């Protein structure tokens, strides 16, 4: 197992390095004037000013010099001895479409997205796995049929169609669930923000009313974001469990008189969950991507809607930063999944 983990950890820096190169290449395609947003907040007014800025910050230096500057920062031409830029220093430049620095945007939008994806992800893992196992154990009974219908429908329903339908029915018509993140009165209310997750902060402050308001705002985005993953997860768990139940060692266990409950929970399920663990990594990736559409539909102020906004205004410096950060989150999530995999799979655990 140690070898497996070491190999896994060794690959990670390579992937990270590759990611930064890929992102930088996209910046490179943009041309020097668009890259000026890395160092200057305002759009330069005329050619002469632009030329000055390009010269001043070395935006037409050779590509490797610029990559290095982008990565670790460069000496600030205005302040002697200071460094400017450098994503490793946490400086992603300026978001011209939001008129603030990209890092500020990230700090502002990250907790909202984290909250949304957590609420979407946890139920899938907790309930989805259980349901999938049930569907397999009760093969071809009603719960199985229900799961099957649900997964076919879920697969074929485009996210943005469902989102808009839900919004028209439950927001515009019935007025049950509002859009955005919290109601206006919550925005005006003073309460201590420990984590930035509204629901958690509300509970820490003992404000049930704020918690309830935030939950009401989360319902539609959660459904929209997660139903496809529910469908996929059910399907994977079900088919993996079905296949395991057909294995000979399961028959052996049954033949020697192990109670059916133990056959399922102790013999079959742990093995059936190995592919499910792999799939949960894919689910995280899917949810992280899905926030773009979901947040845009519901005006939910997270990283996804910010990225979509910035992209539609061609504010590439901002979009790239968001993409890099979500990529980083994804890499960490996959690392967790792979370690989990190592623990779940005895072939790796005992090697």
Q: Which residues bind other proteins (CB under 8 A)?
A: 11, 14-15, 18-19, 21-23, 26, 29-30, 34, 152, 155-161, 164-165, 167-169, 171-173, 285-286, 288-290, 292-293, 296-297, 307-308, 310-312, 314-316, 319-320, 322-323, 326-327, 330-331
- Dihedral angle computed from the Cα positions of residues 137, 141, 146 and 152, in that order, rounded to the nearest 10 degrees: 80
The rounded distance, in Å, linking the Cα atoms of 351 and 339 is: 14
CA angle 306, 88, 101 (to 5 degrees): 35
d(CA 195, CA 214): 14
Shortest separation between residue 289's beta carbon and other proteins, angstroms: 4
Q: Which is nearer to other proteins, 19 or 49 (CB)?
A: 19
- Diameter of the chain by CA atoms? 86
72: Cα within 13 Å, side-chain hemisphere: 4
The residue among 84 and 120 lying less far from other proteins, judged by its C-beta, is 120
Q: Please say which residue, 218 or 231, places its beta carbon nearer to other proteins.
A: 231
CB of 23 to other proteins, least distance (A): 8
Which residue, 35 or 74, is less far from other proteins as judged by CB?
A: 35
Least distance (Å) between residue 334 CB and other proteins: 8
Shortest gap between Cβ of 161 and other proteins (angstroms)? 4
Q: How far is the CB of 292 from other proteins (least distance, A)?
A: 5
Q: Is there a contact between 316 and 12 (Cβ–Cβ < 8 Å)?
A: no
Backbone angles phi, psi at 313, to 5 degrees: -105, 15
Nearer to other proteins, 40 or 330 (CB): 330
Of 294, 295, 301, 322, give the one whose Cα is nearest residue 95.
322
- Which of residues 53 and 306 has its CB atom nearest to other proteins in the complex? 306
How many Cβ atoms from other residues are within 10 Å of residue 99's Cβ? 10
Using the 8-state DSSP alphabet, how is residue 313 labeled? T
**Residue 22 or 208: which CB sits closer to other proteins?**
22
Query: String of b and e for 219-244 (b: at least 16 CB within 10 Å)?
Result: ebbbbbbbbbbbbbbbbbbbebbbeb
Q: How far is the CB of 71 from other proteins (least distance, A)?
A: 16
In the bound state with other proteins, the residue whose beta carbon lies nearer, of 258 and 311, is 311
Least distance between other proteins and beta carbon 266 (Å): 25
Q: Cα separation of 239 and 250, whole Å?
A: 16
**CB of 237 vs other proteins, minimal distance in Å:** 17
CB of 14 to other proteins, least distance (A): 6
Query: How far apart (Å, rounded) are the C-alpha atoms in residues 316 and 231?
Result: 34
Q: Alpha carbon of 174 to those of 21, 57, 170, 207: distances in Å? A: 49, 55, 5, 26
- Burial-class residue 114 by CB neighbours within 10 Å (0-12, 13-18, 19+): middle
Residue closer to other proteins by CB (options 183, 205) is: 183
């Amino acid at each position: 197992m140690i070898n497996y983990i070491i190999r896994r950890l060794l690959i990670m820096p390579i992937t990270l390095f590759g990611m930064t190169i890929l992102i930088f290449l996209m910046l490179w395609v943009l041309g020097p004037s668009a890259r000026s947003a890395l160092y200057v907040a305002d759009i330069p007014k005329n050619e002469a000013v632009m030329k000055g800025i390009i010269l001043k910050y070395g935006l037409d230096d050779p590509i490797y010099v610029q990559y290095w500057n982008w990565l670790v920062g460069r000496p600030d031409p205005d302040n002697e001895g200071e460094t400017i830029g450098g994503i490793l220093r946490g400086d992603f430049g300026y978001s011209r479409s939001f008129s603030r620095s990209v890092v500020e945007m990230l700090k502002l939008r990250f907790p909202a997205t984290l909250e949304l994806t957590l609420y979407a992800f946890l139920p899938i893992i907790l309930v989805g796995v259980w349901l999938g196992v049930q569907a397999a154990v009760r093969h071809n009974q009603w719960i199985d049929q229900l799961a099957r219908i649900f997964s076919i429908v879920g697969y074929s329903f485009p996210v943005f169609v469902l989102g808009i339908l839900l919004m028209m029915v439950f927001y515009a018509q019935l007025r049950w669930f509002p859009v955005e993140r919290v109601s206006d009165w919550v925005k005006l209310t003073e309460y201590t923000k420990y984590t930035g997750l509204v629901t958690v902060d509300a509970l820490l402050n003992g404000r049930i009313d704020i918690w309830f308001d935030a939950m009401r705002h989360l319902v539609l985005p959660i459904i929209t974001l997660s139903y496809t993953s529910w469908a996929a997860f059910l399907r994977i768990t079900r088919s993996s469990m079905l296949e395991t139940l057909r294995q000979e060692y399961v028959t052996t266990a049954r033949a020697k008189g192990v109670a059916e409950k133990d056959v399922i929970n102790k013999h079959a399920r742990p093995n059936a969950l190995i592919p499910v663990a792999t799939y949960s990594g894919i689910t995280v990736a899917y949810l992280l991507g899905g926030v773009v559409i979901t947040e845009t539909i519901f005006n939910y102020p997270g990283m996804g809607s910010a990225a979509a906004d910035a992209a539609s205004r061609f504010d590439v410096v901002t979009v790239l930063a968001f993409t890099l950060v979500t990529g980083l989150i994804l890499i960490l999530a996959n690392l967790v999944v792979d370690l989990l995999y190592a623990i779940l799979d005895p072939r790796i655990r005992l090697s």
